[in-house]
Amino acid sequence: MLKWIAISLLAVAFGLWIIFMIALMWMMSSAPNAKPASEWQTESWMQSDETLPTKLPSRVLAMTDLPLLEPAPTADDVLAANQKSRRAGCDAAVLTFSWPSLEQSPGQFTFDKLKKSVELNSGRFLFLGIQVVNTTAKELPIDLQGKPLNSSEVIDRFCELLDALDPFLKNRVRFLSIGNETDVYLAANPGDEIAFKEFLTAGREHAKQISPNLLVGTTMTDEGATRPDFRRLVASMDAHFLTYYHGQHGLEGTFKNPTSTKVDLIALAAELDTRPIVFQEIGFPAHTSLGSAQKQAVFVEQVFDAWDELGDRVPMINYFMMNDFPSAFVQEQVSYYGTDDESKSLANFIGSLGLHDSNGTLRPAWEVFKRRAKARD
């Protein structure tokens, strides 16, 4: 149970960062425009990115590069963090949005926030996550809430959303995830598994009609991805999309020794099948009650060691994250669960995943990350 709570809180934390980014973008622009697909599809952000290399690399690297959140960041701070991760060697980005944030009413699409994220990450290869389910909840447009995921109405509307994104999917997106940590949601809502599988299969088939080269799947935790029922769920997908926090089951005490990270990742790859593996999130806490800054550095080194051995079997890794969340932010999220030792462990976990602390002081893992990122072939 504790592991699921931790995953849920991490998803909440990541989701609230996205909300922060949306709020910042809102301040930088006018109110979102709800308009039909045809009015979006001619805009430049949906077209080919001429700054990308003509030859796609076999492996790309991303980082969740949120800026320091205290004091409140400016648009310049957001840009500076983005540029810092680029200089460190990150040539990809993960963009995740809930379905309702992209379509607030039937046939009227609100792509402003997606557009700004794409423009911020020009020159990068893109992973797009559409969160139809997100760890603990279904996220459907308001007029579809309460309807089964496998109903023709829901499936048709999702395909219409993909159609609205047609040129963007063709020209800019390399990876498409439909749903985030769906294994956690389905473990808590097993009655939705058949409906979600039918929805996911239909969504993938439609996305591949739009862009046959897309790698399409749904994101799961590393533990969920090895369960027989969830293996069957994704059997027809193009890739395994995973979140991975080494030894997360150890929240009751310390995390697993990071010196086993390479072995564990290679074993995980062997336990899955031969399809590509994409790490939507991968990270390790630096708090001394769970790990340490030094262990985090070992973890990062071992991740790159494993990646070098696995090669293009792992076409993308997104490291979570550049900077810690502020302690007040973390405490606010964890306080819902009380103030016992388990909640303190959760706070220590969520609050120490950055390669810099919440004041911007770099940890040893940052230098390891930069060195290994730049050394990629």
CA-CA distance, 148 to 187, in Å (whole number)? 17
- Closest-CA residue to 364 (of 316, 306, 299): 299
Identify the DSSP state of 181: S
CA-CA distance, 257 to 278, in Å (whole number)? 23
Residue 121 reports pLDDT greater than 80: yes
Residues with Cβ within 8 Å of residue 73, at least 6 apart in sequence: 24, 67
- What does the block give as tokens for 72? 């409140």
Q: What is the pLDDT of residues 309-333, one digit of tens each?
A: 999 999 999 999 999 999 888 877 7
In single-letter form, the type of residue at position 78 comes to V
Average pLDDT over all residues of the chain: 89
Task: Indicate the number of domains in the chain.
Answer: 1
Name the β-bridge partners of 25: none
H/E segment holding residue 45: none
Q: Which CATH number is 296's domain given? A: 3.20.20.80
Model pLDDT, residue 248? 53
CA-CA distance, 127 to 342, in Å (whole number)? 33
Model pLDDT, residue 22? 44
Residue 224 reports pLDDT greater than 80: yes
H/E segment holding residue 24: helix 2-28
Residue 80 reports pLDDT greater than 90: yes
Residues with Cβ within 8 Å of residue 327, at least 6 apart in sequence: 347, 351, 358
Residue 25 reports pLDDT greater than 70: no
Model pLDDT, residue 23? 45
| Domain extent at residue 62 | 2-374
Three-state DSSP string of 318-348: EECCCECCCHHHHHHHHHHHCCCHHHHHHHH
Residue 109 reports pLDDT greater than 70: yes
Residue 19 reports pLDDT greater than 60: no
Contact between 364 and 296 (Cβ < 8 Å): yes
CA-CA distance, 5 to 184, in Å (whole number)? 10
Residue 251 reports pLDDT greater than 70: no
H/E segment holding residue 254: none
Strands 219-221 and 240-245: parallel
Q: What is the pLDDT of residues 34-78, one digit of tens each?
A: 999 999 999 999 999 999 988 889 999 999 999 998 888 998 999
Which of 135-139, 212-216, 249-253 has the least mean pLDDT?
249-253
- What does the block give as tokens for 344? 């303190």
Residue 171 reports pLDDT greater than 70: yes
Model pLDDT, residue 1? 43
Residues with Cβ within 8 Å of residue 55, at least 6 apart in sequence: none
Q: pLDDT exceeding 90 applies to what percent of the chain? A: 75
H/E segment holding residue 176: strand 173-180
- The model's confidence at residue 346, banded by pLDDT at 50, 70 and 90, is confident
Strands 108-109 and 60-63: unpaired
- What does the block give as tokens for 56? 């796609």
Model pLDDT, residue 299? 96
Model pLDDT, residue 254? 61
